[in-house]
Amino acid sequence: MSNQGKSWSEEELQYLEESWGVLKRGTIAKKLGRSVNAVMLKAQRLGLGDPLTHIDGITISQLSQVLNTHYGIIKNWMNKYGMPARQKTVAREQKVWVISYQDFWEWAEKNKHMLDFSRLERLALGPEPDWVEEKRKADQVKKFHIPKPHNTPWSKDEDAKLIWMLEQYKYTYPEIAAELKRSQGAVKRRILDLGLKARPVRLPNHNKYTEKEERLLVELLEKGYYFEEIASRMNRSALGVRGKAERLGYKFRNGVPYKEEGDKLA
């Protein structure tokens, strides 16, 4: 018997609230013996709103906005890097990609080097795992290591500072590059262009790593810090630190460090 025009029972209202955004509207209507329009009107009167807000998790479109990341990049994470999103029908013909918060955080922990959490507002994706705040700090620190574009002209003040630091005979390439916001290669080229005789202090890259240094390297790498920051803390070059990480068994996929299954962690 059709329920059209009849009042809604408490059981029907409870079913509608629990099913809204979980089941297709047509399925809900069929279960209740009502038209889709009647179901939509009742949901509107109950203030249930957009069914997308009732999804257990977040749509990929919403996630791209929260992470301040292009939608296409997130689709690439799904297609190439195993982010476990799934398609969900939220209307008669509308399908969206959805990921649960738990699935997102589990995937994000394994791929944290691909994400920039400095742009993520705290608790925007619900309660955050303990490791997220440390990664947020790492991403904030990274901004200090981003050099100027290679074609940025050198100012007189920069040249003067470069000459002064070289004449102190105590600064390394990473230290000079960090101070001038330039890449190490740009600093080296500028020294040659200016015909300067002094050179930065050599880094101890050929010195054997101590067990303490190896543990620190692994710890910072696993927390999501970048090679530039790790190198700065250890007074070594970023390339040297990466080389050591590779000798410790790490491989890199889209910047994400990992070890082959069965490899023992350093």
52: closest CA among 4, 7, 98, 6?
98
Say yes or no to pLDDT of 1 above 50: no
Mean pLDDT of the chain: 86
| 165 vs 134: CA distance, rounded Å | 32
Coil/strand/helix, residue 252: strand
Who's near 179: CB < 8 A, 6+ residues apart?
161, 165, 171
153-158, long-range: CB < 8 A, 24+ apart: 154/190, 158/182
Which pLDDT score is estimated for 22? Answer: 64
Q: What is the pLDDT of residues 210-249, one digit of tens each?
A: 999 999 999 999 999 998 889 888 888 887 899 999 999 9
DSSP assigned state of 3: -
190, 197 in Cβ contact below 8 A?
no
Class of residue 37 by CB neighbours under 10 A (exposed 0-12, middle 13-18, buried 19+):
exposed
The torsion angle over the Cα atoms of residues 207, 213, 218 and 219, rounded to 10 degrees, is -160
32, 40 in Cβ contact below 8 A?
no
Model-level pTM?
Answer: 0.66
What percent of the chain stands above pLDDT 90? Answer: 45
Which pLDDT score is estimated for 54? Answer: 54
Say yes or no to pLDDT of 265 above 70: no
CA 178 to chain centre: 24
Q: Where are the alpha helices (DSSP H) in the chain?
A: 10-19, 25-32, 36-45, 60-66, 71-81, 101-110, 131-142, 156-167, 173-180, 184-193, 211-223, 227-234, 238-247
| 117 vs 121: CA distance, rounded Å | 8
Q: Kindly state the tokens that stand for 87.
A: 């398609």
Say yes or no to pLDDT of 82 above 50: yes
